[in-house]
C-alpha cells in the first residue's frame, strides 16, 4: 500500500520542479537591468564623513536564473569588482557592495557596469555613467520658536472734581465780666470730628506663562525610489578585469588582446576628459545640483530641543476709568464774646460743640492674574538599525538620515 501511493503523492512535486527549471532556461531570454539608487547621466552627493561601503542597487526583468557581475570604474580608470547579485526574480531590489569606502572616494566621473551570461539566454552588458560630488556633509541647526500672545489694554483716567466744605466753629476768644449777683461761666466742649471715607478700586493685570512641551516619537519611514521606465543602456566601456560574452567578438586571441589594450587606453582618456569637463562645470556652479535619489544628503538638519520664547503684544482698545478728586473749602465761624456776671450765683453756659467734617479717599487694588498657554511639540524620529540595512538593500533612504 505504501509503495502504491508513493508515486501519487510525490509525482506532482517532482514534475513541478522539473517544469520550473525548464521554464527559466529560456535561450531567447533578453535580460534588462534597471538602476534604483543611481541613474545613468545623473549627479549625486557622497558623504565622505561616512565609512560605509559604496553600494549599488539594481532590479532585473526577463532574465534566466543566474547572477550578474557588478563593476565600478573610478575616475582614475581603476576597476573595482563588486559583489555579484541575482538576476531573478523580476523587479526585486538586489544590492551589490563595492570594495571602497565612501571616505575614500573623490569627486569625478564613475562608471557602473552590469555584466552577465544570463544562463543559456542572451548575455548582457549594461552601463551607467554617473557623476559623484564627494565631500563632508554639512549640518544646519534649526531653532524652534514659541510665541506668547499677550493682550495689553491701555487705561485712560478721567478726573471729576468735587468740592468738600469743612465747617468748624471756634470761640469765643473774649469774655466780658459784668458786675452782678449772678456769675456766669462758659464751658467750651472739645471739638468733634466727623470723617467721611470714600473707597475706590483700581485693577492691576499680571501675566503668568505656562509652556507645555509635548514629546512625540515617530519611526522614520524608508523612501524607495521607483524603478525607472527605461532599462540601462548598453555598455560602451570594455573592462579588463572581466570579459563578458556580450562584448566578445570572434577574433584571434592576439588581435583581441591588442583591441582590448587600445580600448582600455581610449576608455581611460575618455574618463579623464569627462572628469576635467565635469570639474569645470562644478567650478562654474555656486552649489552642485543634487538629485532627490541621491544616496547621501548634502545637509543634515538638527533641531534644538529647547525653543526660543518670543512675546507678541497686542494692544486692545482703550478703557476709560473715572476717579474723583476732592478740593476742600474750610469755613470757620467765630462765636460772639461771652459775658461773665460776677455775683452770688454762678450760671454755666455750655457753648455749642465744634464739629469738623473731614473727607478722605482710600484706594484698594485688585490684582487679576491672566494665564497664557503655549504648546510646542518636539518630534523625535527613531530609525532602527535593522530598518536602515533593509532600506539600503532596496536602494532607498530615510529622510534626514543617509
pLDDT tops 70 at residue 188: yes
Higher pLDDT, 386 or 236: 236
Rounded Cα distance, 379 and 388, in Å: 19
Tell me whether residue 348 is exposed, middle or buried, using C-beta atoms within 10 angstroms of its C-beta: 0 to 12, 13 to 18, 19 or more: exposed
CB 157 within 8 A of CB 324: no
Distance CA 114, CA 63 (A): 13
Q: Tell me, what's the pLDDT at 85? A: 96
For the ranges 49-58, 100-109, 333-342, the lowest mean pLDDT is seen at 333-342
Residues in the chain: 402
Residue 267 pLDDT greater than 70, yes or no: no
Q: What is the average pLDDT value for the chain, to the nearest integer?
A: 76
pLDDT tens-digit series, residues 286-324: 333 344 444 677 777 777 666 777 777 778 787 777 766
Of all residues in the chain, what percent carry a pLDDT higher than 70? 70
Cα separations (Å) of 177 from 154, 205, 238, 328, 341? 69, 69, 150, 38, 5
CATH fold for domain 29-136+234-300: Immunoglobulin-like (2.60.40)
What distance in Å separates the CA atoms of residue 367 and residue 205, rounded to the nearest whole number? 6
Query: What per-residue confidence (pLDDT) applies to 113?
Result: 97
**Minimum mean pLDDT among 80-89, 129-138, 301-310: which range?**
301-310
Q: What is the pLDDT of residue 343?
A: 64
Q: Where are the domains of the chain?
A: 29-136+234-300
pLDDT bracket for residue 218 (50, 70, 90): confident
Q: Which residue has the higher pLDDT, 171 or 7?
A: 171
By C-alpha distance, which of 45, 71, 43 is closest to 131?
Answer: 43
Q: What mean pLDDT comes out for the span 202-212?
A: 75
Identify the residue with better confidence: 9 or 277: 277
* Over residues 264-292, mean pLDDT: 50
Confidence band for 4, pLDDT divided at 50, 70 and 90: very low
Amino acid at each position: 500500500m505504501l509503495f502504491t501511493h508513493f508515486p501519487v503523492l510525490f509525482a506532482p512535486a517532482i514534475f513541478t520542479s522539473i517544469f520550473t527549471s525548464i521554464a527559466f532556461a529560456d535561450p531567447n531570454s533578453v535580460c534588462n537591468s534597471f538602476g534604483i539608487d543611481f541613474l545613468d547621466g545623473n549627479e549625486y552627493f557622497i558623504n565622505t564623513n561616512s565609512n560605509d561601503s559604496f553600494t549599488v542597487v539594481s532590479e532585473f526583468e526577463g532574465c534566466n536564473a543566474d547572477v550578474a557581475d557588478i563593476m565600478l570604474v573610478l575616475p582614475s580608470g581603476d576597476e573595482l569588482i563588486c559583489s555579484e547579485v541575482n538576476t531573478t526574480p523580476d523587479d526585486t531590489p538586489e544590492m551589490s557592495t563595492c570594495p571602497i569606502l565612501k571616505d575614500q572616494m573623490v569627486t569625478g566621473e564613475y562608471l557602473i557596469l552590469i555584466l552577465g551570461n544570463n544562463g543559456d539566454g542572451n548575455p548582457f552588458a549594461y552601463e551607467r555613467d554617473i557623476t559623484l560630488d564627494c565631500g563632508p556633509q554639512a549640518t544646519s541647526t534649526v531653532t524652534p520658536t514659541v510665541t506668547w500672545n499677550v493682550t495689553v489694554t491701555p487705561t485712560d483716567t478721567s478726573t471729576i472734581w468735587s468740592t468738600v466744605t469743612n465747617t468748624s466753629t471756634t470761640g469765643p476768644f473774649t469774655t466780658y465780666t459784668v458786675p452782678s449777683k449772678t456769675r456766669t461761666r462758659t464751658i467750651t466742649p472739645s471739638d468733634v470730628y466727623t470723617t467721611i471715607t470714600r473707597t475706590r478700586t483700581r485693577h492691576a493685570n499680571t501675566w503668568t506663562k505656562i509652556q507645555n512641551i509635548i514629546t512625540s516619537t515617530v519611526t522614520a519611514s524608508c523612501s524607495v525610489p521607483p524603478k525607472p521606465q527605461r532599462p540601462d543602456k548598453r555598455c560602451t566601456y570594455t573592462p579588463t578585469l572581466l570579459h563578458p560574452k556580450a562584448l566578445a567578438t570572434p577574433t584571434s586571441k592576439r588581435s583581441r588582446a591588442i583591441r582590448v589594450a587600445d580600448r582600455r587606453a581610449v576608455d581611460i582618456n575618455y574618463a579623464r576628459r569627462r572628469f576635467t569637463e565635469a570639474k569645470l562645470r562644478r567650478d562654474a556652479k555656486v552649489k552642485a545640483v543634487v538629485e532627490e535619489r541621491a544616496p547621501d544628503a548634502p545637509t543634515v538638519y538638527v533641531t534644538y530641543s529647547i525653543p526660543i520664547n518670543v512675546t507678541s503684544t497686542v494692544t486692545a482698545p482703550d478703557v476709560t476709568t473715572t476717579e474723583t478728586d476732592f478740593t476742600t473749602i474750610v469755613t470757620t465761624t467765630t462765636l460772639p464774646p461771652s459775658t461773665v456776671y460776677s455775683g452770688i450765683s454762678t450760671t454755666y453756659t455750655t457753648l455749642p460743640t465744634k464739629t469738623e467734617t473731614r473727607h478722605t479717599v482710600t484706594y484698594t487694588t485688585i490684582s487679576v492674574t491672566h494665564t497664557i498657554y503655549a504648546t510646542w511639540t518636539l518630534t523625535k524620529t527613531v530609525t532602527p538599525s535593522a530598518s536602515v540595512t533593509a532600506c539600503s538593500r532596496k536602494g532607498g533612504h530615510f529622510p534626514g538620515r543617509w
